[in-house]
Structure 1
Amino acid sequence: MNEEQFRSRIYWVTFLFSMLVVWVHSYNGELFLGLTGQAAMVDRIERAVGEQLGQMAVPGFFMVSAYLFYRRFTWEKLLYKWKSRVHSVLIPYFLWNFLYYMAYVMATRIPAITRLIGKTAVPFDGGQLVRAVAFYGYNPVFWYLFQLILLIALAPLVWLLMRSNAVAALTFAALALMIWKGRYFPLLNADALLYYSAGAWAALHREREGRFVESGRIGDWAVAAGVLAFLGTAAVLFGRPGMALWQNPLQTVLIRFVMAAAAWMAVSLAPLPAAFTWMKQNFFLYAIHFALVRLVNKAGALVLGGNAAAALGIFLVMPAVMAVASYGLSRLLGRFLPGVYGVLSGGRGAQ
């Protein structure tokens, strides 16, 4: 595929992942129905979508982010890429965390809103400010950006580990062993490093072993598809009771990796049209969706509480609602406050 087609497919797959992330955060069975049998039924259906399907989204984001960072990478470009990510990732991370914190501080001092969101007054002090801004204390979905920032900072190390196929294979084996044994790095998640490293490897070897990523031809995917099928089958077989991956996080990591990679394979091979404008606000959508999803669910529960069909219906349409809301807000901000939107969107600009 050419450059324009590649960029379009990136928008397609990141939009898909964004929709899945919305579903992950849209559970509402207990909120609508309390601790009842109906709530349990709704919860099972919602989690079948959110847990079984939606949880591949963040691994996919890690792989896409790494691929774009290391695509055509040279040491001369390192400082430029770091500087670019300061504007597109680091500054928005701090700003959105601050905005979420201040929103909670103000909202929890308004009785009507406090009753709606169910939170007591959030303290406003230096310690809470640091926790909020640096460690996403009031913006839990930004754990992903926190991990991504650490991984971007480790770019030279990731490059060193992924530039050689032999060293890369040893690195993946070591990370898999860590996850299987339940070992941890300080701050950095081992599974995040594994997903990110996979994307980095594909980008650094895009002219040879990784050429399937951008080829758009099914024949070039033969080996990669075989590897994915092997990993997926192994995760399922060895995840049975009594086997090595039974109730082990490595099984989950492998399945999510396979699903995310398969999603890119499907998108890259499918005869898709050029990505639509409303599909290109994915960072902004990711940043705003959590608060809006909770607001919609809580408001819906107040009006339609006790209605299982309403709970499930709202869950199912939530990604579409968030896509419309994010596109509308991005257009408004882009038109009337373009500078503000530029910072909030990481310099991605209004479409």
Structure 2
Amino acid sequence: MKRLTETEFRNKITWMTFILSCLVVMIHSYNADLFIEAEETGLFAEGLKLAQSLVSLAVPSIAVPGFFIISAYLFYRGISWQEIPGKMTRRVRSVLIPYIVWNALYYLLFLVVSRIPVLSAVAGKGTVTFSLENLADAIINYTYNPVLWYMQQLILLIALAPAVYAVMVNAWTGAAAIAVMLYFLGRATVIPVLNLDALLYFSSGAYMALHGGRFVEKRDGSGAVSWILKEGAAVAGVLLCIWMFWTTHHYANFLTAVLYGLLAPVTIWIALPSGRLPSPAPWMKESFFLYAFHFLVVRTLNKAASFVLPHTAAMAFLMYLAVLVAAVLLAWGTSEFLKRKMPPLWKLLSGGR
């Protein structure tokens, strides 16, 4: 079984994280409520509302679990006990500091914007007042950039990294722990502070890194049989995901919801070619910056456009696509500007990525 080279593996990770980041942008690009009037009916309008609603339901359980799995896989890939403290220390720079800086900047931005009448209407937060208490709330509870809830959970999971490693390093105890988590998730169990499903995804990524690396990083075979097996696995994954998604929302089944969250990103990974992907374009390489930056862009553009553009299903569709492209390009352009003109700030925002 041939494995990917380090360059090929990193390229595939970049493709995967870019795809997941774009899916997150699509979640927050929802604009049917802004552009489609209640009296507008017809197949296109109803289909668009349904499609955007399905994206809002289906995609969060793909993108965020995928990020947890990838984060854990990269943390535990080829790791030993001795390396864990160093990796945790590096995550302070790459995760904790950006989390603090992004939340603080969003708070300061809304503080200014809320005092400009036209922009305040777009922001929709009312008048934001300054206090150390409000600043602390914005940082701890991601008040003005809700997409950063993922990073808050990731910080907690990294703090638990030694415990996760102690359990997952043994294939049997790791499998048993995952089974126990699935059992309690099936019973919709809630634990304080940490999301149990986030712990499941993180632990599953750790398990893959510690025991399944040769399969995760397997290079695609060149024969017809290898192609059929790979494509067959991807198709089977898609069909299972569809069934799990339907079961989840038809029967309110939380177990199939978390299984869907596990299988969907794995299916995307399987579907992506291994060893045959082209090098990612420059605008694909700042997925974290896109993730943290996009919420402001998509909501501002959609809300501002809804004030001046016709309220039709066609316009909703065009803006839905336009804000995705705009978010990717603006994130890339802003990151390039910061790298050249404000490198210290860039390092804080990007975590040194």
Contact 2:238 2:267 in 1 (8 A): no
Contact 2:220 2:275 in 1 (8 A): no
Give the length in aligned residue pairs: 342
1:169/1:249 CA distance change after superposition, 3 Å:
same
Give unpaired runs (5+ residues) of structure 2.
none
Q: Which residue of 2 aligns with 1:149?
A: 155
Q: Which residue of 1 aligns with 2:27?
A: 24
Contact 1:23 1:54 in 2 (8 A): no
1:237/1:67 CA distance change after superposition, 3 Å:
closer
Which string of whole-angstrom CA distances, capped at 9 and with x for unpartnered residues, describes residues 96-130 of structure 1?
A: 00111111111111112112223311232232221
Q: Matches of residues 239-318 of structure 1 in structure 2 within 5 Å?
A: 240=247, 246-269=251-274, 271-318=276-323
Contact 1:104 1:122 in 2 (8 A): yes
Task: Tell me whether 1:46 sits opposite 2:52 in the alignment.
Answer: yes
Task: Tell me whether 1:212 sits opposite 2:212 in the alignment.
Answer: no
User: What's the TM-score once normalised by structure 2's chain length?
Assistant: 0.89
Q: Matches of residues 80-159 of structure 1 in structure 2 within 5 Å?
A: 80-159=86-165
Contact 1:27 1:43 in 2 (8 A): no
Q: Which residue of 2 aligns with 1:188?
A: 194
Contact 2:297 2:323 in 1 (8 A): no
Q: Matches of residues 330-345 of structure 1 in structure 2 within 5 Å?
A: 330-345=335-350
1:341/1:253 CA distance change after superposition, 3 Å:
same
CA drift at 1:34? 4.3
Secondary structure, counterpart of 2:251 in structure 1:
coil
Q: Could you tell me how far apart the structure 1 residues matched to 2:245 and 2:312 are?
A: 40
Give unpaired runs (5+ residues) of structure 1.
none
Q: Could you tell me how far apart the structure 1 residues matched to 2:346 and 2:213 are?
A: 36
Q: Matches of residues 319-338 of structure 1 in structure 2 within 5 Å?
A: 319-338=324-343
1:54/1:192 CA distance change after superposition, 3 Å:
closer
Secondary structure, counterpart of 2:115 in structure 1:
coil
Structure 1 counterpart of 2:349, which letter?
L
1:235/1:169 CA distance change after superposition, 3 Å:
farther
Stretch moving more, 125-134 or 66-75: 125-134
Secondary structure, counterpart of 2:289 in structure 1:
helix
Contact 1:232 1:254 in 2 (8 A): no
CA drift at 1:73? 0.7
CA drift at 1:228? 10
CA drift at 1:264? 1.0
If asked which structure has higher relative contact order (CA below 8 Å, sep 6+), I would say 2
Secondary structure, counterpart of 1:273 in structure 2:
coil
CA drift at 1:54? 5.4
Q: Could you tell me how far apart the structure 1 residues matched to 2:275 and 2:10 are?
A: 14
User: What's the TM-score once normalised by structure 1's chain length?
Assistant: 0.89
Q: Could you tell me how far apart the structure 1 residues matched to 2:237 and 2:251 are?
A: 17
Secondary structure, counterpart of 2:134 in structure 1:
helix
Q: Which residue of 1 aligns with 2:182?
A: 176
Task: Tell me whether 1:236 sits opposite 2:243 in the alignment.
Answer: yes
**% identical aligned pairs:** 40
Structure 2 counterpart of 1:277, which letter?
P
Which string of whole-angstrom CA distances, capped at 9 and with x for unpartnered residues, describes residues 28-65 of structure 1?
A: 01112344454654321212334334540111111110
